[in-house]
């Protein structure tokens, strides 16, 4: 629902082209179908696993299959958090998310465009804020201490395109990367940036800075369906 609602809101407000709403089907249909099919499979496997426990010699399940299907039952992290979206509302950067043993149940956080933005704790040992707490109803840019250009472009995009684009500097007061994991987790340098959509998914990433930040402005335009 979150995927659909922020898109619908921008379209109704006249900020985005209605083509943005069409990306809902492109992004959510496949994982929704996969979840429904696995749910049915889980139901079937409960009986098969129980039968294997009571009568191992009469079971048609290998030990490895019992382990895998038991792990999948009630464990949907891969399909819930690890799904990667591909649509016009995502600008790929040529990178791939890390591989996992089972894409349905296993989840490896990453900031590859199209993936859910990882949760990283910022602040200090006594007062913390999560990166997820920075994401609001609009777009959010996360950058490093040398990313001033991205702040300027975020303001310009917000003003020109009539949609909120917040920008936060990781390392600023209250947002210290005290565990030294943010830049590795998000795959950017001190002058790089990521653009996160209202639903918490990474839409665009620049691992390092560029001269004028035009790619960020263009990314917001594309997501809104204003650039083809």
| pLDDT at 37 (0 to 100) | 86
The 10s digit of each residue's pLDDT in 7-50 is 999 999 999 999 999 999 999 999 899 888 877 877 777 777 77
Summarised one tens digit per residue, pLDDT across range 120-171 is 999 988 899 999 999 999 999 999 999 999 999 999 999 999 999 999 999 9
Q: What are φ and ψ of residue 34, in 5° steps?
A: -65, -40
Q: Write the CB contacts of 12 (distance below 8 Å, at least 6 apart in sequence).
A: none
pLDDT at 105: 82
In this prediction, residue 58 carries a pLDDT of 66
- Cα maximum dimension of the chain: 69
Q: Name the pTM for this structure.
A: 0.88
User: What residue ranges do the domains of the chain occupy?
Assistant: 2-81, 121-223
Position 211 confidence tier, pLDDT thresholds 50, 70, 90: low
Specify burial of residue 80 (Cβ count, 10 A radius: 0-12, 13-18, 19+). middle
Q: Which residues, in sequence order, are CB contacts of 5 under 8 Å at separation 6+?
A: none
Q: In CATH, what is the architecture of 121-223?
A: 3-Layer(aba) Sandwich (3.40)
Whole-number average pLDDT of the chain = 90
Question: Residue 63 belongs to what H/E stretch?
Answer: helix 63-72
Distance CA 88, CA 223 (A): 6
- The mean pLDDT value for 100-114 works out to 91
């Amino acid at each position: 629902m979150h995927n659909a609602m922020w898109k619908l809101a921008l379209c109704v407000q006249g900020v985005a082209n209605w083509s943005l709403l069409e990306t809902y089907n492109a992004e959510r249909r496949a994982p929704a179908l996969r979840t429904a099919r696995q749910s049915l499979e889980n139901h079937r496997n409960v009986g098969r696993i129980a039968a294997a426990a009571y009568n191992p010699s009469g079971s048609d399940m290998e030990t490895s299959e019992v382990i895998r299907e038991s792990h999948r039952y009630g464990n949907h992290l891969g399909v819930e958090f690890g799904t990667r979206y591909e649509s016009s509302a995502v600008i790929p950067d040529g990178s791939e998310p890390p591989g996992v043993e089972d894409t349905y149940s296993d989840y490896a956080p990453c900031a590859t465009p199209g993936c859910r933005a990882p949760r990283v704790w910022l602040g200090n040992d006594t007062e913390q804020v999560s990166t997820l707490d920075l994401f609001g109803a609009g777009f959010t840019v996360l950058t490093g201490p040398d990313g001033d250009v991205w702040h300027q472009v975020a303001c310009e995009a917000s003003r020109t395109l009539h949609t909120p684009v917040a920008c936060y500097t990781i390392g600023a007061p209250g947002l210290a990367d005290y565990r030294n994991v943010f830049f590795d987790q998000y795959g950017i340098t001190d002058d790089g940036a990521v653009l996160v959509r209202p639903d918490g998914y990474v839409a665009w990433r620049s691992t390092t800075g560029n001269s004028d930040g035009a790619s960020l402005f263009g990314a917001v335009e594309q997501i809104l369906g204003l650039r083809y």
